[in-house]
Amino acid sequence: MKQLFTRWGRVFNREEVLPEYPRPWMKRNSYVNLNGEWQYAFTGKEVRDPSEVHFKDSIIVPYSPEAFLSGVGRQLMPDENLWYRRIVNIPEDYRAGKRLLINFGAVDQRCLIYVNRIPVGRHSGGYLPFTVDITEQVDPEDGLFELIVLVRDMTEASYHSRGKQLLKRGGMFYTAQSGIWQTVWAECVPGLYIRNYRVTADILTGRVGIAVTLSEDIGTGVPDWSLKLRKPFIDPISDAEAEACKMNLARYADTFKDRDYLSLKAQDGEAEDTDEETEELSVRVLGTSFDISFRVPERRLWSPEEPYLYYFRLKVCEDEICGYFAFREFSVERPEDFGDKGGVLERLKELKEHPRICLNHSPFFQNGVLDQGYYPEGLYTPPADLALIYDILKMKELGFNMLRKHLKIEADRFYYHCDRIGMTVWQDMVNGGSPYRFWFVTYLATAFNMFRYRIFDNCYSLLSRKSRAGRREFEREMLETAGLLSVHPCISTWVIFNEGWGQFDAVRLTERLRHTDPTRLIDSASGWFDQGCGDLRSQHYYYMKLHVQWCFRRATVLSEYGGFPLRTKGHMASDSIYGYNFCKNSRELNMKYRRLMREVIDPEIRRGLSAIVYTQLSDIEDEANGILTYDREVLKLRPETFAGE
């Protein structure tokens, strides 16, 4: 393939690699970024002892060795090990009397962590973060230690989650990547520290609950704590971000600032509400759970048009974090299901006969784009934080209000930017299973779907889910994904399965997911293999005639459609081209899109479609069906096309 570059890849600085704080929803001051130059080595899978590995070459973390920005250009095969090594020095003012944690954003697929050649932790799951406490292995006097990471990646040779990676890329499957692909950082925390939190915010009553999980069991005694709540605030789009949408190389300045906090607090174990803008402050402690509850009488609701966030500072004993939450609620509703909830019924009259997706109990049409999060020089990893912001802002500028994050879990900063910019997200669970039988899950399933013949998803062999261990792993990762990302108000919908790839037991998994997170919608089976569960009747439309299958109790959506390919000279990574309904030139592409919307999609929207998802945000390798080219340099569908002109 031809190597392409985004504008951020062309000015990439190896000395300052993704320096932004990686976890904006739980921010601490003690932060040491470990991105940058590490040593690496490939060995056979039989090598398990770090002393047998000869580290002599350099890799730029967090870019996979398959990505150009890593400086390696080598694919990790299933019968190989990939080793990383770095000498780390933690500043003295950070480590004094503290515990030392190493955080990994994501390592694909399985890894073993060594500190000073001693194994200290392991992790399986190439898309989920994990933390290793290495306090006991590091000398507190000098803070210097050797960090080694051993990685194995089976890609499609096993049942592990892999998204659209393929060892032999082509068509709608892309270059397999491996190893460390999200930020690695160290932080120092006191003995008792905040592991995570979840927030519930009721838009009708104003009641807010912050459920905090602590690192140690503290029984039932209330520790010293304080909470400061900031007034509702919309983070402004910075000059750099605005200029980025106009192809400017300006850098992004973080807007997470300490100002305008209300004096809501409680100290010395006694709850004390000291601000007239909050009410009914209370706390409850049991074991490692520390729950805070209060009410905000006058609240501002989050929406894409007005993405109001409530930032807060929470201190428990010696540990302090910055976080945020929002008041918003997604639902599927029919007018006859409601009493008069403060005028809600009046706002729902336009729903007519079909259930609709609602935001804050008002009909909310989601106009979305399929976003697969690939970059030509970084693959899964963006060349800069500004690249994430650009994609979000550009789609919003074109009139879209939703991104479907497809078969990939992004770094936290992506969701943070969607939270503050105002972009709703459908989050796919990452698919896995044995190699797919496309004659069944694509061709035969398309025909069955057209004739409304339901195929049940307990045929594990045909759906590549014969392995019981693989099914258990997917279920565990699904619940972990929901727990991890539940802090982000932008996420409206969980998508469990896509086009039958590794699908199984959708009815049962839908109920498990709803029990874990009852605050979001669930698309149980996007495309086909619908099992009659979840909140959405979800269809794909690329060719043949569209037959919308309406549902009485679920909202009806087109979770993929369009995908018109256009080869753009000078901006193609591959000589091959993959897609549906090929276009000869820009004029034909824009004409086809307008005709599709006018003659097919818009009439169904008027009949009751609740959401549509166009394929896709950018070209990727062989796929040339993006709104943008792979390098984000050419906007192939013109702004006036989306405006209907």
Crossing angle of helices 385-397 and 412-421, in 10° steps, is 40
Q: Which two tokens stand for residue 353?
A: 């006969």
Crossing angle of helices 468-485 and 506-516, in 10° steps, is 30
The CA-based angle 468-469-473, given to 5 degrees, is 120
Q: Which pLDDT value is given to residue 158?
A: 96
Q: Is it true that the peptide bond before 109 is cis, omega within 30 degrees of 0?
A: yes
Split at pLDDT 50, 70, 90, the class of 645 is very low
Within the chain, which residue ranges are assigned CATH 2.60.40? 194-317
> pLDDT by residue (tens digit) across 284-317?
999 999 999 999 988 999 999 999 999 999 999 9
**395 — phi, psi (to 5°)?**
-65, -40
User: What's the one-letter identity of residue 590?
Assistant: N
Q: Which pLDDT value is given to residue 643?
A: 79
What are the C-alpha distances in Å from 30 to residues 10, 21, 140, 191, 198?
Answer: 31, 11, 16, 14, 22
Q: Does residue 490 have a pLDDT over 70?
A: yes
Average pLDDT of the segment spanning 396-407? 97
**What's the rounded Cα separation, in Å, for the pair 213 and 206?**
23
**What's the rounded Cα separation, in Å, for the pair 482 and 478?**
6
Split at pLDDT 50, 70, 90, the class of 246 is low
Average pLDDT of the segment spanning 239-255? 53
Higher confidence at residue 401 or residue 254? 401
> pLDDT by residue (tens digit) across 119-177?
999 999 999 999 999 999 998 888 899 999 999 999 999 999 999 999 999 999 999 99
> pLDDT by residue (tens digit) across 330-366?
999 986 654 445 444 454 455 457 899 999 999 999 9
Q: Which fold has domain 366-642?
A: TIM Barrel (3.20.20)
Split at pLDDT 50, 70, 90, the class of 84 is very high
**What's the rounded Cα separation, in Å, for the pair 499 and 313?**
43
User: CA 91: distance to chain centroid?
Assistant: 32
Q: Which two tokens stand for residue 98?
A: 């503290």
User: What's the one-letter identity of residue 374?
Assistant: Y
Q: Which pLDDT value is given to residue 262?
A: 62
Query: Which helix (H) or strand (E) is 386 found in, with range?
Result: helix 385-397
Q: Which two tokens stand for residue 432?
A: 């896995």
Q: Positive or negative CA dihedral for 595, 598, 600, 602?
A: positive
Q: Alpha-carbon dihedral of residues 340, 343, 344, 345, nearest 10 degrees?
A: 60
Provide the CATH number for the domain formed by 194-317 in this structure: 2.60.40
Query: Which helix (H) or strand (E) is 426 found in, with range?
Result: strand 424-428
Range of weakest confidence among 97-101, 268-272, 308-312: 268-272
**586 — phi, psi (to 5°)?**
-65, -40
Query: Do the bridges between strand 80-89 and strand 144-152 make them parallel or antiparallel, or are there none, so unpaired?
Result: antiparallel
Within the chain, which residue ranges are assigned CATH 3.20.20.80? 366-642
Q: Does residue 370 have a pLDDT over 70?
A: yes
Q: Does residue 456 have a pLDDT over 90?
A: yes
Q: Which pLDDT value is given to residue 257?
A: 45
Of 121, 100, 291, the residue nearest 214 (C-alpha): 291
pTM value is 0.94
Q: Does residue 249 have a pLDDT over 70?
A: no
Average pLDDT of the segment spanning 439-443? 91
Q: Which pLDDT value is given to residue 50?
A: 97
Share of the chain above pLDDT 70, in %: 91
Q: Which fold has domain 7-189?
A: Jelly Rolls (2.60.120)
Q: Which pLDDT value is given to residue 392?
A: 96
**What are the strands, taking DSSP E only, across 563-641?**
611-615
What are the C-alpha distances in Å from 345 to residues 356, 360, 421, 552, 607?
Answer: 13, 12, 29, 19, 20
Query: Which helix (H) or strand (E) is 492 found in, with range?
Result: strand 491-498
Within the chain, which residue ranges are assigned CATH 2.60.120.260? 7-189
Share of the chain above pLDDT 90, in %: 81
Q: Which pLDDT value is given to residue 244?
A: 67
**277 — phi, psi (to 5°)?**
-85, 0
Range of weakest confidence among 152-161, 173-182, 192-201, 215-224: 215-224
Q: Which two tokens stand for residue 151?
A: 């990685």
Share the mean pLDDT of the chain: 91
**What's the rounded Cα separation, in Å, for the pair 88 and 54?**
19
Q: Which pLDDT value is given to residue 239?
A: 79
Q: Does residue 322 have a pLDDT over 90?
A: yes
Q: Does residue 242 have a pLDDT over 80?
A: no
Rg (CA), the chain: 25
For residues 289 and 211, the answer to whether their CB atoms sit within 8 Å is yes
The position carrying tokens 């299958």 is 549
**Which residues lie closer than 8 Å to 625 by C-beta, 6 or more apart?**
562, 563, 564, 565, 566, 579, 580, 615, 616, 619
Question: How would you classify residue 125: left for phi > 0, otherwise alpha for psi between -120 and 50, otherwise beta?
Answer: left
Average pLDDT of the segment spanning 619-632? 98
